[in-house]
């Protein structure tokens, strides 16, 4: 496995690499969800690149950039064990040698749901993704479905700017208790983790009541409202059915595939989850 920290080293690796390249962009703190992305990447290309970079542009002024979990040695061990060909782990000054004047706008899709709660977040995400695509020059990039809005926006970025990268998505990976894997889960205390389980339970309730879009959404909201009464540290942000491609809200009589997106604050930690539901 090759580890590079600058564009010069990355270019040398890329120019020497024959065949197709799959990129798995990450912010490190790798877990089994990332490993599933890496495994999928191996099936999509001849060589697998993983980027590890905690991107400051996607953190708000009161968010957890400074304390975001970082463990490069552990991440490298995982990448080595999983057969990654190259790890691009740049320092801040390598990705942003100066304060960026020109960035990517996520537009309307980036200003709703997670974007409404975290203004500018998706502008930062799309800016760093575009920079990584320019540097790694992947044929395909692998993203998790847990960050459904991010995935939709990356797909739109590629389509609208003609970037020529094929986007593959991988289903959510969950712990045994049902909680979707996330690097931020380590912030949760045992009691907070129990509270956070209200999100996958709400998805289960919605799936059980998925006769109509309205009934599914109502079932999720009832489950979360009940959980808020039992767990004061849990505060719901949204539980809404949306069109997967546009992130516009679904009508009560919607027909077809929709994504039920959930977000809540559990103590000081933001937790998100989602599931695709089909209405006939």
Active site residues: 34
CB burial class (10 A; 0-12, 13-18, 19+) of residue 44? middle
Residue 184 in marked binding region: yes
* 174 within 8 A of 51, measured Cβ to Cβ: no
Residue 146 in marked binding region: yes
Residue 149 in marked binding region: no
Tally of CA atoms within 13 A in the half-sphere of 234 that contains its CB: 24
Residue 173 in marked binding region: yes
Tally of CA atoms within 13 A in the half-sphere of 253 that contains its CB: 0
- 57-68 exposure pattern, b = at least 16 Cβ within 10 A, e = fewer: bbbeeeeeeeeb
How far does CA 271 lie from the centroid of its chain?
12
Residue 183 in marked binding region: yes
Per DSSP bridges, beta strands 234-242 and 86-88 are: unpaired
Residue 37 in marked binding region: no
Residue 34 in marked binding region: yes
CA distance 212 to 11: 51
Residue 3 in marked binding region: no
Residue 28 in marked binding region: yes
Annotated binding site for beta-alanine: which residue ranges?
Answer: 58
Annotated binding site: which residue ranges?
Answer: 27-34, 58, 144-147, 150, 173, 181-184
Annotated binding site for (R)-pantoate: which residue ranges?
Answer: 58, 150
Annotated binding site for ATP: which residue ranges?
Answer: 27-34, 144-147, 173, 181-184
């Amino acid at each position: 496995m090759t580890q590079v920290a600058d564009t010069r080293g990355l270019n040398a690796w890329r120019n020497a690499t024959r065949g197709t390249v799959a990129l798995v962009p990450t912010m490190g703190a790798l877990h089994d969800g990332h490993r599933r992305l890496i495994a999928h990447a191996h099936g999509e290309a001849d060589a697998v690149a993983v980027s590890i970079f905690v991107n400051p542009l996607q953190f708000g002024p009161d968010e957890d950039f400074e304390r975001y979990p970082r463990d490069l040695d552990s991440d490298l061990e995982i990448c080595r064990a999983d057969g990654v060909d190259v790890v691009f782990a740049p320092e801040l000054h390598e990705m942003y040698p100066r304060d960026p004047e020109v960035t990517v706008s996520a537009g309307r899709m980036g200003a709703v749901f997670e974007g409404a709660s975290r203004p500018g977040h998706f502008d930062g995400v799309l800016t760093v993704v575009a920079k990584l695509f320019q540097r790694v020059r992947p044929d395909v990039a692998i993203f998790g479905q847990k960050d459904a809005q991010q995935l939709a926006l990356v797909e739109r970025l590629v389509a609208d700017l003609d970037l020529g990268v094929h986007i593959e998505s991988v289903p959510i990976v969950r712990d045994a208790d049902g909680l979707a894997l996330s690097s931020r889960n380590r912030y949760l205390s045992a009691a907070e983790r129990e509270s956070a389980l209200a999100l996958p339970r709400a998805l289960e309730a919605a799936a059980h009541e998925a006769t109509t879009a309205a009934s599914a959404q109502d079932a999720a909201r009832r489950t979360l409202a009940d959980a808020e009464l039992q767990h004061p540290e849990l505060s719901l942000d949204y539980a809404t059915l949306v069109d997967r491609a546009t992130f516009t809200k679904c009508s009560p009589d919607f027909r077809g595939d929709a994504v039920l997106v959930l977000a809540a604050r559990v103590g000081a930690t933001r937790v998100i989850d989602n599931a695709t539901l089909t209405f006939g």
